Amino acid sequence: MLKIYNTLTNRIEEFQPINPPEVRMYVCGPTVYDYAHIGNFRTFLFADLLRRYIKYKGYRLRHVMNITDVDDKIIARAVEQKKSLREYTDRYIQYFFEDFDALGAERPEEVLRATDHIPEMIEIIKRLGANGYTYQSEGSTYFRIAGFERYGRLSKMKFEGNVAGASERVDADEYDKENVRDFVLWKAAKPGEPSWETELGEGRPGWHIECSAMSMKSLGETFDIHAGGIDLVFPHHENEIAQSEGATGKQFVRYWVHAEFLMVEGQKMSKKLGNFFTFRDLIAKGHTPRAIRYLLLSAPHHKQLNFTLEGLRGAESTVERLNDFKRRLTELKAEEGSSPAIAELIEQSQRRFEEALDDDLNTAEALAAIHDFVRETNTAMAQGAVRAGDREALLAMIDRFDSVFNVFGEVKQELLDSEIQALIDERQAARAAKNFARADEIRNQLTAMGIILEDTKEGLRWRRK
């Protein structure tokens, strides 16, 4: 049974979906004003792990992620670069998914853009108005938090006195976390800013209303899991609850799950300190996506993770060792049969792995189970104790581990010299017959396998990269 810490109840709870075997999950996605940094990716890779483990447990998952493609920062950048909002954000959405895919994350079932859901946002704001939660001021519409009794229940901040007297308003998408104020649902149009003509007047949405609109549109008015970074608890998620429950009168989300902060070299990441890294910065330094993934998943999500370049170098050798182990096992020449000791090892490792992840997704313990499994299998291989049947069962266990962590990597099939020579001969024959399409196809196939062809005085030679 999966147990998970729920920010709403402040307790570790057994996970019980509303409508099993279906699980509906919403994850706050990126605000696409720049390249995503590794703090962002800690959250997205945690969401990926949660996603994968939910599927591992046999549930049928519907996972929705939004793209915030309109907000204060995006507008400022787009104006600066004289680009339309769409043009500016399209580019960063593309970069985001290039990084996301490279990091081995699975795409959610649905990815929704905020600016495609203006009518849904207006609809919720109108319902809030009908329920008495909104007021207008200078063309903008605000949420009156004093009218919503449960305000503050998620973030556990002390609002007494504060809430009752909250007549101050805030227009900014991100605001001072110490000062509780009425937040904007719909912002009156300003000159030079993108805007939409709606029943609430010409303007644009506040950030928080986006997520209420997109999540409820796709997942219904009450759904199972809402995840995101811990920095979103207040005000973003607190406001999402106020908006959604204020509109529907129903509980919005059952389990609120948050990934803790990422520290870099022991400090909060900042450009000033020189410890601010995008995914691309680390790739430019020669690091691999798989090692970055491994390191970001190595600490449980409810703990702060201290990301260091030394730790990343360690992760490089760890994932290389895992890949090397998988390759040696794949290529192992073993006698027929199987042994009870290996079956026992597999069973124990699987149990430990699942117990760790069931325990509020304790990735550190789950990875420790994987490393012990690798070490013990290595010992068994060295003793010649792994039979052909064991090898298949061990490889299947690696696939199960990897369906959640995705860190072992693919084993490249090594071509035998004779097979390479046969392909080259076929390519020469194809060229002689002017079948250039086939010749190119073979060349590409060889390149993909790391074989480099060279024309020399002595004729065509090949070597491995």
Minimum CB separation of residue 28 from Zn ion in Å reads 3
Q: Which amino acid is at 126?
A: K
What's the gap between Cα 293 and its chain centre?
A: 10
28/370 with CB nearer Zn ion: 28
Estimate the crossing angle of helix 238-248 against helix 207-219, to 10 degrees: 50
Give 89 or 298: the residue with its C-beta nearer to Zn ion: 89
CB of 258 to Zn ion, least distance (A): 12
> CB 226 → Zn ion: shortest distance, Å?
8
Sequence-separated contacts (24+) of 326-333 with Cβ below 8 Å: 326/395, 326/398, 326/408, 326/409, 326/411, 327/411, 327/412, 328/381, 329/377, 329/381, 329/386, 329/391, 329/394, 329/395, 329/398, 330/395, 330/411, 331/414, 332/381, 332/386, 332/391
User: Are 363 and 299 in contact, with CB atoms under 8 Å apart?
Assistant: yes
Cβ neighbours for 429, distance < 8 A, ≥ 6 positions apart: none
Q: In whole angstroms, how large is the CA radius of gyration of the chain?
A: 27
Nearer residue to Zn ion within complex by CB, 112 or 345? 112
Helix (H, G, I), strand (E, B) or coil at 349: helix
Residue 14 CB coordination number (10 Å) = 9
Rank residues 26 and 408 by Cβ distance to Zn ion and give the closer one: 26
Min CB(1)–Zn ion separation in Å: 28
Q: Could you tell me the smallest distance in angstroms from the CB atom of residue 253 to Zn ion?
A: 11
For Zn ion, the closer of residues 28 and 356 by Cβ is: 28
Please give the residue ranges that form the binding site for Zn ion (CB under 5 A).
28, 211
DSSP 112-129: EEGGG-HHHHHHHHHHHH
Nearer to Zn ion, 287 or 301 (CB): 301
Which residue, 211 or 292, has its beta carbon nearer to Zn ion? 211
- Smallest gap from Cβ 357 to Zn ion, in A, equals 25
Minimum distance from CB of 302 to Zn ion (Å)? 20
